[in-house]
Structures are given as C-alpha cells and as structure tokens.
Structure 1
Amino acid sequence: MRTLIVHNPRSGFGSDAIFQFQRALVKAGDECVFRMLAHDFDPKDAVRDADGFDVVVVSGGDGTVASVLHALAHTGVPVCAFPSGTANLYCANLGNTMEPQALARACRVGATASLDLGRISWVDGEGATEKRGFALMSGMGYDAQLMAAALPNKKALGEAAYYAAALENPHPKICDFKITVDGDVHERRGIMCLVANNAMIQNDISIVAGCRMDDGKLDVIVVEIENAAQLVRPILHGIFDREGAKTGRPHIESFSGASIRVEASEPMPVEVDGEVCEGLTTCFEAKADPGAARLIVDPMSGYGKQEAPEPKFGEVEDTAFPK
C-alpha cells in the first residue's frame, strides 16, 4: 500500500494525532510519503503525484481539506480527511470515527463514497472576478463578520473564539436578498445568506435538515433576523433537536438547487469554508459539482455501508465501532 500524507502543521493546536495515525496505518512492505505543507502551499503542487498512490491523506483544518479535495476533483483518487484543525466540520459532516487507529483501518479497508463539492464566484469592489471551490459552506453577511472577528483569538480559544466574536458584534447589518435557485426567484431580508454542501456546525447541530453531500445540490440558507439576540431561538431548537427534522429552525429558511445566484442590497463580506475574503460584494453565484470528490468512509459514516467490505490492503486491526 502506497500512501501520501499531506499535513498542515499550522492547523488547530498542532496535535500529533497524525503521527499516531501513520504508525497505525503503515505495515511491512508499505510505502508512506509524509509531506509537510508550507505556509503558502499550492494545493495542486502538494498532490502533484497523487495518482501514484493508493490513498491520499489530507491532515489539517477545513480550509486545508477543502483545498486538497478541489485539487483532486474528478481524479478518482481516494482521499482520507484527517481532523487536525480547530473545528473539523468537514470531518464531522462526513461522519467517520475520528480516532486515528479507526481512520487508519478505514484507509486499509478502502471503502469510498463519491461526494459533491461546491464552487462560488463573485465580483469584488475593484471589479475583479474571484472564483473559489468549497467543501463546507460559503456566503455573505454576518457569518463572515464573525469569522473575521474571531481570527485573532482562534489559536488561543479554539471554537470559543466564534462565540466571543458574536458577543462583541450584537448588531449585524441587515439587507435584502434576491435569491435565484435553478431559475426560481425568492426575495428575503436578513443578516446572512449561505450556500451549503453540508450544514452541520459545532456541537453536531444542523442548520437545516436533510443537507447531504451526495445529492448533486447545494442548500441556500437565509437567516432572517434583525439582531443577534434573535439567534437564541434557533440555537435552543438546535440543542434540543440537533438534526432539525422535528422542530425546524425559527428565523432560518432554506432552498435547494444546483445553480444559485444571490444579490444583496448592501455590500457585504464573503467567506469561503471559514476563510474571510478581502473586500465586499453585492452578488455571488454558486454551483454544485456532483461527485467531484472520492472520500474514504467507514461504517460510522452516513455515506458508507453499515458493514465494511473485505480489506482492500489487508492487515487491519480490529476496531469496535459504536452501535
């Protein structure tokens, strides 16, 4: 078995779990290349020789994982997303067991799922067109403001930095959104408009119900409130109904489609998979990229089979998955 591990040492708190994973993964006769990513790494260059490996393991936060998945889009190369970041929301949405030995076992078993990615484009304040790929969610408004405010404290506080930023920004900008989803137009008013490939955030709370990465669509999410205090209701609903299928989400509306255009009445900041982009914009377009990524999955994942197949690469250690 030939494995390429690309690791971002600046993600999260610098856990050494990736080295535990490597020790559990590699068996006699295997070859494993460990590639440490530089600060300004080029994702395509980082996986330039990926087709020569049986599995590519990307270790880092959501931004690192998304960039590598897009670099390998439609190549068919199996990718294992290893959680080394602060929030690791992509890995949480994927649903694999996050323990290093279990992920090593999943790589040796070799079961995969073809999952969607998303693409977003917008014109910045200087008239330049920006294009990005995303794996989680992107959009404009209050979420981008919070992420920008949380950035200075993210290393010290981790996920708590986002909550601290919300307390410091209680009065978000409100604007009108014109949302076109597969040709249908919807007009709404709120503080942010997102497009999501998956919609589960911290504490396993889904912003909207039924958002999946294998349906060839994106979910458009509009938060229709006028001040941060009104977020209490959807948060409480999320605590008591994490999937959102029973009680719904007050002040949150969603639409689903493959091609989306969002126009805002006020210039707003843009975020892509948690990264805040420079400048403001009044419009963005997003499209689903069906089946673009091939991910390693285990029996715990909602995208995998309940019973794992016979190991593709042999010599797996037994791992007891929760029932």
Structure 2
Amino acid sequence: MRTKGELEAAIGKGGPTVLVINSRSRRGRRLYGRTRRLLREAGLEFVHVFPVTDPSRLRGLFADVLALEPDLVVVGGGDGTVAEAVGHLAHRDIALGVLPLGTTNNFARSLELPLDLPGAVRTLTVGAPDGGKVADVDVGWFESTGDPQGDGPGGDREHIFANMVSLGLSVEVAGSVPHTLKRFVGRPAYALTAARLLPRHEAFTARITIDGKTSEVRTHQLNVANGAHHSGQRIARDASPDDRLLAVYRLGDERRLRLASATARHVLTGPRRSLEEDAFLTTAHVEIETDPPLRVDVDGEVRGRTPVTIRLRGNALRVIVPRTFVDT
C-alpha cells in the first residue's frame, strides 16, 4: 500500500482513473451530459467510463473496474451506488472520488464534499490549487441473520458498509417510498411516506450489547451510524466517518408521537448536539437483538434480519475530500 501522499501524487500526475456513473439515480439521468462536460473541462481523463443504466449490474461491474488497476475511481450517483463502491474499494490501494447525484447524499455530506456539481468536480482535481486531497476514513462491517449475500470468495467485502445500519420504521419507508415521488420531490418523499406508515407501525424492543453490557430500549427506530448524516441531516456536530466510532442511537420511544418529535429534534439540533450526550452510545463493536426479529437496512438495502453484529474498520477506505476535511 502506498502512503496517502504517494497515492495523491500519482493521481495528481494523471494516474489511471475510472468513472462509474449511475444514470438512473435521481440527478444522474438529468446531469449525465453536464457531468461529462465539467470533468473534461477540469482536465480529468478516464481510461474507461462505465455508464450504469441497470443498478443491478453494479456489483459485477466493479470486477471490470478493478481489472484496470486504477489509482482513482470516481463514482457518480446516490448513496446506494457509493455504498457498492465502498465495499469493493475498502482495504485497497485505490482512492474513491464521489460525485453526489442522489437524493440524500449522506456519505458525500459526511465527507464534507460540495453538493453542487462544479464544486464536487473541482475537489476531484487533486494537485490543483482548489483541488482535494487523499484521506483515509472508517467503514463499518456487519453480520446479520439470513443475509442472502456475503458467502463464498470475497464474501467479507459484501459485509462492508459506508454510512448506516437501521432498524424499524425507516426500513419500511425505504421499501415503500414511491420511486416517482422520490424523483420529483427528493428528500421530502421519505418524510411523506413515513407519515403515512407511522400510524400502523409497531414499536419493538432492542437489546444492545457493548463491551459485555446489555441495555434494553423500546422504540420505533434504531440507527448505528459510521457516517455523520442520516436522511441528509447531521446527527451530531462532532460525528465523522473518521472518528473511529460507531454511534448507536434511537429516535423516540414506543410512543408514535415521540418518534415524530424526536425526528424533528434530530433535524433541528443535530448540528449542535454532541456524541457525548446520553442520546448516543459510541463504540467500535455492538451486537443488537430485537423482539420481534426485524429486517436490517444497510445503506438503503435490506440485508437479512436481527440479531446483527456491527464492527468498525478504522481508516479502511481512501477517499478524495476537500483540503479542509480533518483527516485523522
């Protein structure tokens, strides 16, 4: 593995770069042509461009990407596209560049990337005065019950995630939000769908084990975050994908109205509150059981059921970030 400085220098000198762009993401279809033009104008050259019109092909496509032995893989799309890339690029001598073309862009926000397309492209111009740098950030690893993926050669990579593991109402929302509504209204589509589903949603009991100590909570929503954002909102001012911590937190208790008010507080106070507050449990390893067993959402994809084990893998992924990003 090269040092971050060595990899950054190789990229700045025009080392082999690959572009993967999901033209089916919310903004990808509309901005595909403009994205290619801005990349050309910035002087970014690619040994291969993979436009993706069928997201189910992403997993197999990365075998072709890695065969090109690039220094940098630029991925344009939403959190699902980025999550797929993270699993393939973690623990490799390759940097990931992100063009945020999705609905919530949680991972891009956690990396403090500009969400406007010109700004994101400028960050990719490593070596330029206003370009970014190579940093290494944390990823998560999970193991759930009945996960249909993750077996066989390379299966360990199938368990890596970028941003968050969720249990509860959000899993139902992710599977129910109308694609057309999401495409036209963006992030509010999730809130509208949650409001429709909440009156019928049943609370659950979660047993959370950290360092041999088990605590029990009742709630409608439980999250385990590696990143700093959920639903496009910061979870805490000091949360970061580079802090060697998983943040475990619930939204509200068993009362449905408490979930609504907790979500509102999450939106309004997230940028001000701290991971040191009682609302959060921070750890590098957590085990969760639920009653009843629940489906597990991993970066927007259902991956088995509880019980689930989640671990942190520190500094496992190299990414292009703004120069102002604090890299530990």
Fold shared per TM-score above 0.5: yes
- Quote the residue 2:227 is aligned against: 198
Q: TM-score, normalised by structure 1?
A: 0.81
- Quote the residue 1:320 is aligned against: none
Distance 1:56 1:94 in 2: 16
- Residue type of the alignment partner of 2:175: A
Q: Secondary structure at the match of 2:36?
A: helix
- Quote the residue 2:281 is aligned against: 255
Structure 1 residue runs of 4 or more that deviate by more than 6 Å after TM superposition: 246-249
Q: Secondary structure at the match of 2:41?
A: helix
The answer on whether the counterparts of 1:97 and 1:300 sit within 8 Å (CA) in structure 2 is: no
Q: Secondary structure at the match of 1:173?
A: coil
Distance 1:215 1:233 in 2: 28
- Residue type of the alignment partner of 1:262: I
- Residue type of the alignment partner of 2:135: A
Residues 1:276 and 2:317 are matched in the alignment = no
Residues 1:136 and 2:160 are matched in the alignment = no
Residues 1:158 and 2:173 are matched in the alignment = no
Distance 1:208 1:145 in 2: 25
The answer on whether the counterparts of 1:37 and 1:46 sit within 8 Å (CA) in structure 2 is: no
Distance 1:235 1:25 in 2: 40
Stretches of structure 2 that go unaligned for 5 or more consecutive residues are 1-13, 128-132
Residues 1:231 and 2:259 are matched in the alignment = yes
- Quote the residue 1:311 is aligned against: none
Q: Secondary structure at the match of 1:15?
A: helix
Query: What pairs with 1:204-219 in structure 2 (closer than 5 Å)?
Result: 205-219=233-247
Displacement after TM superposition at 1:3 (Å): 2.1
Q: Secondary structure at the match of 2:110?
A: helix
The answer on whether the counterparts of 1:3 and 1:57 sit within 8 Å (CA) in structure 2 is: yes
Stretches of structure 1 that go unaligned for 5 or more consecutive residues are 305-323
CA separation of 1:201/1:142 partners in 2, compared to 1, >3 Å: closer, same or farther?
A: same
User: 1 or 2, which has the higher helix percentage?
Assistant: 2
The answer on whether the counterparts of 2:80 and 2:300 sit within 8 Å (CA) in structure 1 is: yes
The answer on whether the counterparts of 1:195 and 1:218 sit within 8 Å (CA) in structure 2 is: yes
- Residue type of the alignment partner of 1:148: G
- Residue type of the alignment partner of 2:50: R
RMSD, aligned CA: 2.9
Displacement after TM superposition at 1:132 (Å): 2.9
Distance 1:43 1:197 in 2: 26
CA separation of 1:173/1:33 partners in 2, compared to 1, >3 Å: closer, same or farther?
A: same
Task: State the Cα deviation string for residues 37-93 of structure 1 (Å, max 9, x = none).
Answer: 252222532422353x33210111101111112101111211111111121111111
Distance 2:269 2:147 in 1: 40
Distance 1:217 1:33 in 2: 36
Distance 2:307 2:24 in 1: 32
Task: State the Cα deviation string for residues 154-201 of structure 1 (Å, max 9, x = none).
Answer: 234321210111111123221211111233322211112221111323
The answer on whether the counterparts of 2:237 and 2:272 sit within 8 Å (CA) in structure 1 is: yes
Distance 1:294 1:25 in 2: 22
The answer on whether the counterparts of 2:210 and 2:286 sit within 8 Å (CA) in structure 1 is: yes
- The sequence identity of aligned pairs, in percent, is 25
CA separation of 1:282/1:68 partners in 2, compared to 1, >3 Å: closer, same or farther?
A: closer
CA separation of 1:224/1:160 partners in 2, compared to 1, >3 Å: closer, same or farther?
A: closer
- Residue type of the alignment partner of 2:63: D
Distance 1:183 1:47 in 2: 41
Query: What pairs with 1:24-35 in structure 2 (closer than 5 Å)?
Result: 24-26=41-43, 30-35=45-50
- Quote the residue 1:120 is aligned against: 142
Pick from 7, 12, 31: which aligns with 2:26? 12
- Residue type of the alignment partner of 2:221: M
Q: Secondary structure at the match of 1:59?
A: strand
Displacement after TM superposition at 1:303 (Å): 4.4
Q: TM-score, normalised by structure 2?
A: 0.80
Pick from 277, 289, 292: which aligns with 1:266? 292
